[in-house]
Chains A and B, each alone.
Chain A
Amino acid sequence: AQTVTQSQPEMSVQEAETVTLSCTYDTSESDYYLFWYKQPPSRQMILVIRQEAYKQQNATENRFSVNFQKAAKSFSLKISDSQLGDAAMYFCAYRSGNNNDMRFGAGTRLTVKP
């Protein structure tokens, strides 16, 4: 079964600075999707960014970008110009393109200091 590992339980960043959250995954599949979700204290799960495995270009959404290293099975999230509203739990997730299986990492709690 696929596994998703987030090795940083907690991270901290100064407002306006840049932070990178790490994620690695294990799979033997070639067709899959990777996601970063944000969960603020409200508990609502919000999609931050998505990457299709077949795309070589790294996905970008405004201040959020990923570094997708397919051979290394690494999928890190970079948040630029961090804002207080970025404080939340961040979950990395993997979705199989073959069988709809979805796996989440344990999450990284991001604190943004003013």
Chain B
Amino acid sequence: NAGVTQTPKFQVLKTGQSMTLQCAQDMNHEYMSWYRQDPGMGLRLIHYSVGAGITDQGEVPNGYNVSRSTTEDFPLRLLSAAPSQTSVYFCAAGANEQFFGPGTRLTVL
């Protein structure tokens, strides 16, 4: 029982590149979410999903896309990376009790 897993743990991109952050859970939670954490700030909600095929925007959705084709997987796509997207990204599963993945540290040069 791995809980919530995220890959990669670290990533460096150049401005304009695209990439997908992977998130998977084996806890069978319908609700999944993506956050970013910047220095001096708490986590901010990017996108969330209440079940397969259903996604919605959070507080800071611009520059990110998500999809939810299965209950287990909830990838986050950066379409054209910008330095402002340098951050630590967390995926979580569950609603009233959220279980977080270990995070991905992303640097955009």
Give the interface of A toward B (CB within 8 A).
1, 4, 6, 33, 35, 43-47, 50, 91, 93, 95, 100-107
Pick from A44, A100, A103: contact of B100, CB under 8 Å: A44
Given contacts A4-B42, A93-B42, whether A102 and B33 have CB atoms under 8 Å apart is yes
Min CB–CB distance A33 → chain B (angstroms): 6
Closest Cβ–Cβ distance, residue A59 to chain B (whole Å): 12
Chain A interface SS verdict (over half): strand
Flag if A100 contacts B59 (CB, 8 Å). Answer: no
Chain B 64-81 near chain A by CB (<8 Å), digits 1 or 0: 000000000000000000
B50 proximal to A (CB < 8 A) = yes
Interface string of B91-109 (1 = CB under 8 A from A): 0100111111011000000
Contacts of B103 in A (CB 8 A): 43-44
Q: B45 contacts which of A45, A47, A102 (Cβ < 8 Å)?
A: A102
* Chain B hits for A4, CB < 8 A: 42
Given contacts A44-B102, A45-B90, A47-B98, are A106 and B33 in contact (CB under 8 A)?
Answer: no
Q: A35-B98, A100-B48, A106-B40 are in contact. List 18 more A-B contacts (CB 8 A).
A: A43-B102, A44-B100, A44-B102, A47-B98, A50-B97, A95-B95, A95-B96, A100-B56, A101-B45, A102-B48, A103-B42, A104-B43, A104-B44, A105-B42, A106-B41, A106-B42, A107-B41, A107-B42
> In the docked arrangement, what's the CA distance between A1 and B57, Å?
14
Considering the complex, give the chain B residue whose CB is closest to the CB of A2: B59
Query: Cβ of B61 < 8 Å from any Cβ of A?
Result: no
Q: Please, which residues of chain A bring their CB within 8 A of the CB of B97?
A: 47, 50
- A105 to chain B: which residues have CB within 8 Å? 42
Q: How far is the CB of B4 from chain A (nearest CB, A)?
A: 10
Provide the residues of chain B in CB contact with A102, threshold 8 Å. Answer: 33, 43, 45, 48, 58, 98
